[in-house]
Structure 1
Amino acid sequence: MEAVAETTTSKATRLSVNRGITLTIPVIGRITVGHTIVKNDKVLPVKDDHFTLTTLFQDKKTRVWEEHPLQKTLTKGEEKLRAIPVRIAYNDVNLNLHNSFSAFDPQKGRALCVGNGDRARRVTEDGVKEIDCPRPEACEYGQRYRCKNFSRAYFRVEGQEDELGAFILRTTSFNSLDRLGSRLNQLSGLTGGCIANMPMLLVLETKTTTQSFREPIYFADLVTRPGMKLLDAVKEAREYQESMEKAGLSIEGLEEALRAGLGNSDFADDLEDADEWLSDEDLITAVEQQGRRTGLRGMDSLTQRLNLLATQQPGGEEDEQSTGQGAEGAPAEQLGGPDGAPVAGETSAPPETPDAQQPDLLAA
């Protein structure tokens, strides 16, 4: 069936596609804080203490993402990229930052269950059903399928050529979610929702907490650019939106179209989301602590093992908490907390021994 155009209340038309097909925000690149290395024919995830801008291409053999041209422009040589000049993509804070509890199928890479702590949509034999969402720690299904707090943040990087595209930062970090969410909410409240194209700086901050055993952890934050006052940033955003309006361009119409595209399916997920979610360090640790300490032979091997874990009932085998040790050698019950435990999206200091095979990835 050919796609047809549906007339809306305005003069704009909206593409009509089959139900279940998601029209996502056009992603033109990735913002990550981690990479992979090949060691002894094994692909191991490694955390970084800096950002990396990549394209959407990943080498099949090495699992290395191609570096985006803007990476060299912003690093100016060999410097580490710890601050990225960005612009807020949309007025709608929920388009800039999406957060949910998410569980993925480790084989197909598609979402199985997505919720907000109140209600959730879950794939069942009878199709997708809406159910109560008790949150992962109180959900047997969530524990079985490793449900995680998962966030996607969208930014426009200064210097990008595609004016409608955005870079995506995926993370399971509570600290990154807390800081980015708070900043966006504050800016939206201060400006009455006029934040699109506001010039800001995406930075990698660090802190220590009791739960991190005073080891430094990293998280993403959004601050004003050096030498620029907040009032200057707000003024620039307003001038941009006024010029768009004078030119007959509707930011509200653009955001309405994006919301409609995202809402066309049961789950607004990308296939790449599962890759970031599977890279979470506690998932890798869970696999290793099942007594299978033979190393990771690529992420495909990790996928197979997680799929095996997903078929086991909670309590059937000793899990990561019953071992008493977590990803950083800390008690597992102290990891993953909202106040600084090393979770995906946050990094801690690398192990002192270079050859230590400690899976250590920031899922961002």
Structure 2
Amino acid sequence: MSSTRLAILSPAARGPMHLPASMGQLVAQIESHQEIWDCWLQSWELPVTVGEIAPFLDELSRQALHQEREVIWAPMNSASNSVRLVLHGAGQPEALRRALTTLHLQHFIPGRILHGQGDDLALMLHGPDGPLGAANHCLIEALEGISLDVAVTRLWDRGHFRLLLADMDSTLISIECIDEMAVYLGLKRQVAALTERSMAGELDFQSSLRERVRLLAGTPANTIDAIIRERLSLSPGARELVAAAKAQGVEVGVVSGGFTQFARHLQETLDLDYAFANTLEIIDGQITGQVLGDIIDAAAKADILDLLAADLGTDAGHCIAIGDGANDLPMIRRAGVGIAYHARAVIRAQADFQIRYGGLDTAAAYLGWSTA
């Protein structure tokens, strides 16, 4: 049976908008009637077609225009789907208004509030089934200039995801380890130039890494311990994301083109299930400038994702990958959900979701883990 979904967004100072008494008999379900982010959100399901109540909707819109309210509606049918709208950041009425108006153009209508606490807001959306890429693209464009992260996501069941695999440098931790070593040793300019070209995808990662490591030849190995002690810090929200994943029964690993000493420290600090990184050759307490074994590059990261998924009895489609650089792109594209964290535009464009402003806990919000 066809129906119509109607939603009204009002400034909190205006209060909720009341439907005429004559419409009471048509209201099949009041899905939302709640104050959030200095707004009133109301949502109804009406068991009639849009055509049958078109004059009423037009009049309601005229009234709303003079009262600074937003009225939106759309026809619903058996093919309609439910998804989640997530906004993560300082609650701004303008952000919510822009998001709902933009999504209305993509034929989505807000329903009940799934989560609304602090910086997190998650709403049920009703709309067409199919890929969400276009809706997310339009949403991000509409909210440009507002420092807030946003995404439209599926409503995944608990247990859908089995593995979260994250990059280390500038993702789980706030530094680039080899750059910090370079600063410590007075080699900042030489190493940073190679790192930048590699992160931008302008230089082969393996060649770049070997050249950077050669610059470290003769460095005392205990320099690594000093950098871990003095300069290594977790990215905002890293602990919260790992805790949320584990609460969902999701295993968590770090995979890095950096070095095992840092990755193992991170594994112990966050109680990670897996840690993969490159091994520096150390002889007589000094770094030789060589890397032992095969280098973990972009292809290796994606392969590790596949191998871990297989060991867990699943596939990459039930995994999450998070990273910030060009060498994270293959695993971000391979995973069921790929998230770009404070990344360049070229990386963000190829990820399912992006975090531009908030911490890693934003990923938990996108995945619905903060609403569990």
Which structure features the higher share of helix residues?
2
Check whether TM > 0.5.
no
The structure with the larger Rg is 2
Task: Compute the TM-score of the two structures, normalised by the length of structure 2.
Answer: 0.23
Return the structure number with greater relative CO, CA threshold 8 A, min gap 6.
1
Taking structure 1 as the reference length, the TM-score comes to 0.23
